[in-house]
Structure 1
Amino acid sequence: MKAKLGMSPIAWWNDDLVELSDDVSLEECLRQSRSAGFTGMEKGRRFPDDPEVMLPILKAADVTLCGGWFSGTLVDEDLSVNKDRIAPMIELFKAVDAPCIVYGEVGRSIQGKRNVPLAQKPRLSDDEMMAYARKVTTFGEWCAEQGMPLSYHHHMGAVVETETELDAFMAASGPGIPLLLDAGHLVFAGGDVLRAIDRHHARINHVHVKDIRQDVVDKLDRTRQSFLDAVALGAFTVPGDGSLDFGAIVQRLADHGYEGWFVVEAEQDPVQNPPLKMAQVGHAELMRVMSAAGYTVDTQGFPKE
């Protein structure tokens, strides 16, 4: 089985907590991740939106674009609004041969609100969840028709956060909206990663290997502290530095035949946790567990001409 290893630039620049950002250029961010062994990088705020500008930067760093976040609002807004906003991103991602766009629902979400505690996350009724899931499926089908598949990101603070919510969303949606499995977010929400893989493996097309520091998560007062408070306190980290058993997680994905990207997405303070060092720790741990699970990791970066 084949796999590719990528990173998210959130380890270098945090979009929600700008104070948790390192003052490095895009080129330096790519250089550091590539030197640690990663061949892909998801899109961040310092990436250009013009493929003619982006491609030379990726080529020089020997890195491919392996995904990127789209802030969806389908829980509240029309399909047409989201289609208009995502259309330029689809064209960009097609031009640089990215595998997918990550759909993150921000409608009603508290994930970016420092003053709203975790306990006040939005919740959908059964009927609302069914209608929402069908709507997202239609949107996913439309994006795929345009030449770029989506990957739905369940997320802390959003309308699909818990394992129960994920199960309900997956039951009411269709194969037109594939799933991004994020181990850290699911465990933070009290879910069972291995059970989720068993239930939903057929639709997983992208994986975020986010680790958590369980002691930090356990100490949170969810009636007072927000998702961003948790990030600032160090709830997340890279595989090999946290509490999750990625050997078991990767093995379960292998058992179900998953092939594709495993992306390290670990937002934390780059001063306390230098991104290059953390990238090296994460890469070493992933190589260890992926070898044990029978994966062959692709070491090619930017496609050779």
Structure 2
Amino acid sequence: MILYGTNPIAWANDDDQTIGAHIPTRQILHEAGRLIGFDGIENGHRWPQDPQALRQLLGEYGLRFISGWYSTALLTRTVEAEIDAVQPHLARLKANDCTVCITCECSNTVHGDPNVAVNDRPVLTPAGMTAFGAKIEAFAAYLATQGMRLAYHHHMGTVVESPQDIDALMAATGPHTHLLFDAGHCAFGGGDPQAVLRRHAGRVAHFHAKNIRRPVTDRVRTQRLSFLHGVLAGAFTVPGDPEGEIDFVPLLRILAEAGYDGWLVIEAEQDPRRHAPLTYQSMGLSALKAAARDAGLDRG
């Protein structure tokens, strides 16, 4: 069953919490659930930490808790230490009937630092990627015993950013490690989203329908801007935006051919003062549903 979700970073950013700080929490939920009509929403820094309080709050607006970003630090700590660290997050996922744990290695990421160019992100050697992949797979195997699939989020500013990084991580991991495919991060990271998704569609456990404005992402690269400066400049947008580059129908057709069954999430952070979340998320959901129907992914 295909379900449609969003992420609160369209309203209130997690990496720079001053972005969208003026928008009340209940306005986010009202717009996402009642006005736009999403089925669910991912994690954000505004949500309650208590699992039952979280379930109750989102339920008031007809929203499910989809999953949420979990930052691993497996380059600097053991798998056993990571298992201990994930327990509070895991409890929230279980209590809210989530099936995936969105994971990204953040021990040395630069995407949250406005003073570091995204071009200067960390890069692993082939041997380093092999060792990292073994730890991710061991962590994913533990999550599988808890009824959770690890969905690794390739992301700008991290050790898994480029299409080569994605390929290397998938090669370095086993059957317990799945992929969160993010169309926008793939394109921004130098990849052809269709080609990369086609290679790994069978391992995709979660999908972020993020679009990019190519003139902005190119400027981020050439002017050596930080990831956060790129966000504020408008690097990302939603499906259906005429300024966006990505055609989602071919991507969703690849997912349909692979038998994908799960969430399609519009995770597209923008400056809400420049790009009104209600307007853009409404546009995005309408376009994403139409693309899913055209692709044969959503036959409902």
Moved more, 82-91 or 260-269: 82-91
Distance 2:150 2:46 in 1: 22
Q: Which runs of 5+ in 2 are unaligned?
A: none
User: What is residue 11 of structure 2 aligned with on the other side?
Assistant: 12
Match of 2:246 among 244, 247, 252: 244
Q: Which runs of 5+ in 1 are unaligned?
A: 299-305
Q: Which residue of 2 aligns with 1:32?
A: 31
Name the structure 2 match of 1:137: 137
Once the two structures are superposed, residues 102-138 of structure 1 have per-residue CA deviations (whole angstroms, 9 ceiling, x without a partner) of 1011121111111111221111111110010011000
Kindly report the root-mean-square deviation, in angstroms, between the aligned alpha carbons of the 2 structures: 1.4
Q: Is the 8 A contact 2:201 2:254 kept in 1?
A: no
The alignment partner of 1:43 has SS state of coil
- CA distance in structure 2 between the partners assigned to 1:108 and 1:59 by the alignment: 36
Aligned partner of 1:256 in structure 2 is 258
CA distance in 1, matches of 2:162, 2:63: 33
Render the CA deviation track for 1:19-53: whole Å, top value 9, x for unaligned: 32153333321221122121110010011111221
Contact 1:117 1:222 in 2 (8 A): no
Name the SS of the counterpart of 2:263 in structure 1: strand
| 1:22–1:270 Cα contact (<8 Å) kept | no
Does the CA contact (< 8 Å) of 1:105 and 1:159 recur in 2? Answer: yes
1:1-305 paired onto structure 2 within 5 Å: 2-34=1-33, 35-222=35-222, 224-241=224-241, 242-296=244-298
CA distance in 2, matches of 1:55, 1:20: 25
The letter of the residue matching 1:133 is G
- Asked if the contact 2:253–2:297 (Cα under 8 Å) also holds between the matched residues in 1, the reply is no
Contact 1:124 1:159 in 2 (8 A): yes
- State the alpha-carbon separation in 2 of the partners of residues 56 and 180 from structure 1: 27
- Which whole-Å CA distance do the structure 2 matches of 1:16 and 1:58 have between them? 22
Pick which of 222-231 and 263-272 moved more.
Answer: 222-231
Distance 1:221 1:169 in 2: 24
Given residue 245 of structure 2, which amino acid in structure 1 is its aligned partner?
A: S
- Seen in structure 2, the aligned counterparts of structure 1 residues 147 and 26 have a Cα distance that, compared at 3 Å, is farther
CA distance in 2, matches of 1:252, 1:168: 21
170-179 vs 11-20, which moves further: 11-20
Question: Taking every aligned residue pair, what percent have the same amino acid on both sides?
Answer: 38
Provide the C-alpha distance between the structure 2 equivalents of 1:175 and 1:26, rounded to a whole number of angstroms: 38
Task: Tell me: higher relative CO, structure 1 or 2? Use CA pairs within 8 A at least 6 residues apart.
Answer: 1
After TM superposition, what 4+ stretches of structure 1 lie above 4 angstroms from structure 2? none
How many Å separate the matches in 2 of 1:106 and 1:205? 20
Decide whether the 8 Å contact of 2:117 with 2:227 is kept in 1: yes
Taking a change above 3 Å as real, the CA distance of residues 222 and 104 of structure 1, as seen in their structure-2 partners, is: farther
TM-score by length of 1: 0.93
One-letter code aligned to 2:2: A
1:157 offset after TM fit, Å? 0.7
